Structure 1
């Protein structure tokens, strides 16, 4: 299944997690979501315990999850962070 990604939402959420989240090592944590980058900063990773999202150069992205329910809960968390911070 291919999911459509709103890249502007993703970048806003990533920034809000970095601004408002708790930093541990090179990762940021907020409302059950973890956000971090690779060493060069070109690839973003946003994940929770069941869904992993990798977003990279030229708007390429990849989701890793087992159930559509997990994906929907993850997307809801991202939207809550976007609207709440």
Structure 2
């Protein structure tokens, strides 16, 4: 995911978090799903997918536009490892 986001993997991992994770209702975010240190949810219309951990936030939306928020590259690297781990294990 460093240079180009693997959109198929991202959506596959989002689905795995939704299917295999714990779900809770959240007043601001709707239904939020948790698995292996990652949180996943969508916006109200389902067009934007959000995957987060404690230090990195990823929004992925319409026309494959995405945006990461993090402070340093080690945080992004750890986030990518969590994505890969879920993709491989579930």
Normalised by the length of structure 2, the TM-score is: 0.91
* CA–CA separation in structure 1 for the residues paired with 2:57 and 2:79: 9
3-state SS of the aligned residue for 1:23?
Answer: strand
Helix, strand or coil at the partner of 1:74? helix
State the 4+ residue runs in structure 1 displaced beyond 6 angstroms. Answer: none
Q: Which runs of 5+ in 1 are unaligned?
A: none
Aligned length: 84
Root mean square deviation of aligned Cα:
0.9
User: Can you give the 5+ residue segments of structure 2 that lack an aligned partner in the other structure?
Assistant: 26-30
- Give the TM-score, by structure 1 length: 0.96
